[in-house]
Amino acid sequence: MSIFTKTVVIFFMFTSTLAFAKTETNIAKPNAKITKNITAKMKVLNLQISSMKNSVIKGLYQVQTNQGVFYVSADGNYLINGSIYDLNNNMRNVTEKSLDAWRLKKLKSFEPDMIIYKAKNQKHVITVFTDTSCAYCKKLHSQISDYNKLGITVRYLAFPRSGINSPTYDTMVSIWCAKDRKLAMNNSKKGKSVVSKTCKNTVKEQYELGVSFGVRGTPAIILDDGSMKAGYLPPENLLTVIQQSKKAK
């Protein structure tokens, strides 16, 4: 169950936040006392903090949690859910951009668990959070060879949209426990049955990683610069997005 169905938190604070930011001339970096205070309050909401730093708006901390990014006031009394946009830089999503390097670092430790479809002439590497029951995930998978021909290597991580207590989760565990993971994935994407198996696996951790990244649906694509694109993109379109993302760096 989401934290949003367990507790009532007022998020519509844009005006008051701006007023606070204007009057606040300085904000201390999150020290042990501040971190402890905010951690305790967010724990009530089942939010586990992995990092906390000053945000681009004075008076607000950017807090990375197991359920994505939030902003918290310096006194720890107010929590904001949403993205910050730079009005002076073509509505650049500051929140999203701040996560690029962090995502790449987190993905590194999951590389041994990825199901990889490598391009012979590899130019780009994307990581896709996928679901075996997702129509657009199946569409993306049916074009794997087309992505590969464009030099795009596709790496899969599991993201059962219905959660870890669902038939899809069990199917994805069976795929990750299969002797031939790629064959099991191929069969599943084609609507064929997958032999039920269990083993030591990280499907739950993969799902939790996606949630912390801000994944809310599938497919969710992490580009090789760490930026995330939600939804299916045809091969040629994806290549264009990747190239544009690199130019924007």
Each domain of the chain, given as residue ranges in start order, spans 3-95, 104-247
Q: Which two structure tokens, joined as six digits, stand for 222?
A: 């992490």
Assigned CATH class of 3-95: alpha beta
Burial of 105 (0-12, 13-18, 19+ CB in 10 A): exposed
At residue 25 the predicted structure's pLDDT band, cuts being 50, 70 and 90, is: very low
Average pLDDT, the chain: 86
Q: Which residue numbers are catalytic?
A: 131, 134, 137, 161
**Predicted confidence (pLDDT) at residue 24 exceeds the cutoff of 70:** no
At residue 176 the predicted structure's pLDDT band, cuts being 50, 70 and 90, is: very high
**pLDDT, average across residues 132-137:** 95
The predicted pLDDT at position 23 comes to 36
Q: Which of 8-17, 66-75, 88-97 has the lowest mean pLDDT?
A: 8-17
* φ and ψ of 10, to 5 deg: -85, 115
The predicted pLDDT at position 20 comes to 38
**pLDDT, average across residues 232-242:** 96
**What is the 8-class DSSP label of residue 75?**
T
Q: Which of 24-28, 90-94, 147-151 has the lowest mean pLDDT?
A: 24-28
* Cα distance between residue 177 and residue 195, in whole Å: 10
Write the CATH number of the domain with boundaries 104-247. Answer: 3.40.30.10
pTM of the model as a whole: 0.78
**pLDDT, average across residues 220-248:** 92
